[in-house]
């Protein structure tokens, strides 16, 4: 038992050393030594001939593989100016997305959703097909319905619903002022007049109305408008 445990410890130590060496000498941190030109030879394989080093094959030789000259010039902390050289493409996309305006974000999100829908529901036949009148009108109708749903979803994601308050200044004078803006999570903002009392959107609007009434006694009611700002729902404050 003692000898086997010693062999296991030695094997683990050897694996740890190999892992440490592989982390220390990599192409990414530019520490792999360059190979001499005299050591580079043609290695023949059944599928072709490639350049390599003596005793190479697919194993890393003692001298190491050759690497580009410009690879050694890159160091940590360098300013990356071009998208192709950016260290993390996802961070670069987040940076671009953050600099876009609200309208550009909505248009980009809508185009991405439409592209995914068209990929799952391709056009049934080309325009010059003999039976296009049988298949294309049905597909165009489905495409228009999907586009309407996508636009409503994108609007509900980016557009907040205004909650306007009606305040009593005197017996014959009322003033309207904005109270707050509510985020439309479930997409209920397109049909505010059709929602029941269990709706989360109406619950948020009711809480905001009660809070405003507690801070300002002149509040009479609030009006929650939809995304098109054409319809609204009157909400009366409830006593605490």
Query: From CA 13, how far away is CA 114, in angstroms rounded?
Result: 55
68 pLDDT band (50/70/90 cuts)? very low
Vertex 149, ends 147 and 153: CA angle to 5°? 115
Residue with tokens 């993390």: 88
Weakest-pLDDT range from 1-5, 15-19, 58-62, 106-110: 58-62
Could you give the CA distance from residue 31 to residue 3 in angstroms, rounded to a whole number? 38
Work out the mean pLDDT of the chain and round it to a whole number: 76
Q: 175 near 188, Cβ under 8 Å?
A: no
pLDDT confidence of residue 58: 42
* Closest by Cα among 179, 177, 164, 173 to 224: 164
Rg of the chain over all Cα atoms, to the nearest angstrom: 33
pLDDT, position 142 = 93
Q: Looking at the whole model, is its pTM more than 0.85?
A: no
**Per-residue model confidence (pLDDT) at position 72:** 44
pLDDT at 163: 92
Average pLDDT over residues 43-69: 56
For position 187, what pLDDT does the model report? 81
Q: Which residue has the tokens 């050694």?
A: 72
Confidence of residue 120 (pLDDT cuts 50, 70, 90): very high
Question: What strands, in cross-sheet order, belong to the sheet with 232-235?
Answer: 173-182, 161-170, 219-225, 232-235
> pLDDT at residue 74 above 50?
no
Residue with tokens 């439309």: 184
* Residue 27 in this model has a pLDDT that exceeds 60: no
pLDDT digit string, tens, across residues 196-225: 878 888 899 999 999 999 998 899 999 998
pLDDT for the residue 222: 93
Please give the span between the terminal C-alpha atoms of the chain, in angstroms, as a whole number: 76
Distance CA 222, CA 149 (A): 29
Q: Please give the residue that has the higher pLDDT: either 234 or 89.
A: 234
> What value does the mean pLDDT take over residues 98-113?
85
Dump strand ranges (E) for the chain.
40-45, 48-53, 161-170, 173-182, 219-225, 232-235
C-alpha distances in Å from residue 143, one per residue of 108, 149, 230: 18, 10, 26
Residue 210: predicted pLDDT:
92
CA–CA distance, 166 with 174 (Å, rounded to integer): 7
Would you state the pLDDT for residue 36?
63
Question: What's the pLDDT at 180?
Answer: 92
How far is it, in rounded angstroms, from Cα 213 to Cα 238?
Answer: 9
Strand partners, 50: 43
% of the chain at pLDDT higher than 70: 68
* DSSP at 171: T
Residue 227: pLDDT over 70: yes
Give tens-digit pLDDT for 150-182.
Answer: 998 888 888 889 999 999 888 888 899 999 999
């Amino acid at each position: 038992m003692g000898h086997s445990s010693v062999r296991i410890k030695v094997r683990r130590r050897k694996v740890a050393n190999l892992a440490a060496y592989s982390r220390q000498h990599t192409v990414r941190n530019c520490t792999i030594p360059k190979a001499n030109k005299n050591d580079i030879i043609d290695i023949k394989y059944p599928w072709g001939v490639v350049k390599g080093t003596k005793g190479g094959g697919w194993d890393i030789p003692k001298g190491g593989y050759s690497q580009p000259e410009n690879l050694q010039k890159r160091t940590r902390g360098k300013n990356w100016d071009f998208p192709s050289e950016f260290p993390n493409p996802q961070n670069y996309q987040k940076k671009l997305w953050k600099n876009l305006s609200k309208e550009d974000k909505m248009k980009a999100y809508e185009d991405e959703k439409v592209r995914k829908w068209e990929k799952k529901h391709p056009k049934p036949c080309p325009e010059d097909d003999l039976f296009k009148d049988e298949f294309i009108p049905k597909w165009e109708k489905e495409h228009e319905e999907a586009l309407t749903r996508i636009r409503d979803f994108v609007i509900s994601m980016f557009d907040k619903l205004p909650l306007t308050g009606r305040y009593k200044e005197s017996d014959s004078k009322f003033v309207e002022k904005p109270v707050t803006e509510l985020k439309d999570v479930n997409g209920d903002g397109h049909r505010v007049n059709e929602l029941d009392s269990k709706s989360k959107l109406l619950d948020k609007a009711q809480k905001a109305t009660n809070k405003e009434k507690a801070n300002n006694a002149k509040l009479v009611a609030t009006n929650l408008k939809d995304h098109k700002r054409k319809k609204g729902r009157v909400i009366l404050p409830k006593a605490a």
